[in-house]
Amino acid sequence: MNPRRKQRLAVVGIIGFLIVSAIGLMLYALNDSIDLFYTPSEIIEGKNGQKPQVGQRLRIGGMVVPGSVKRDQESLAVSFDLVDTGPKVTVTYNGILPDLFREGQGIVATGILTDAGAIKAQEVLAKHDEEYMPPELAEKMKGIKHVKPENMPSYETPNSAGGK
């Protein structure tokens, strides 16, 4: 092989190494910002044979257990239980909950796993429609019906009340 071809091969090899290194560094940097979605059952029992680690950032979706919402009278702290088809997971949140948040409704929370069955949420999202549910949660909950709490107010729209 002549020296000119060796030089070109070395340049191509260096450029390839730099591209692979840059991609590897980007994936490593993004690893901290990836939020994996779990249901309460997957947090307790594991997902694909792996349980999430304490301190891991994740998203959890489930139904708020009726009667489990506990609000602190002194601050904006609130805790509640989430359930899908199995065990419950306790979520604590310090902030203003969405207007659509209520017991018996589906929510998605983003936070950090603090214990095997507890999450400290940084964001809580409530579903915005009677029929909407995150696709991952809908797949897990096929065939299970949740009963609406008796003390939950019913909301009427102007058209449903017989108004003009």
What stretches of 46-147 show up as alpha helix (H) in DSSP?
A: 135-140
Alpha-carbon distance of 8 to 158, in angstroms, equals: 75
Q: Consult the annotation and say whether 128 binds a ligand.
A: yes
Coil, strand or helix: which one is 57? strand
Long-range CB contacts (within 8 A, 24+) of 66-74 = 66/103, 66/104, 66/149, 67/103, 67/149, 68/103, 69/103
Phi, psi of 107 (to 5 degrees): -140, 165
User: Shortest CA distance to 103 belongs to which of 147, 141, 143?
Assistant: 147
Token pair of 113, please?
């796993």
Specify whether the CB–CB gap between 58 and 111 falls below 8 A: yes
Q: Which residues are annotated as a binding site for heme?
A: 128, 132
Q: Which residues are annotated as a binding site?
A: 128, 132
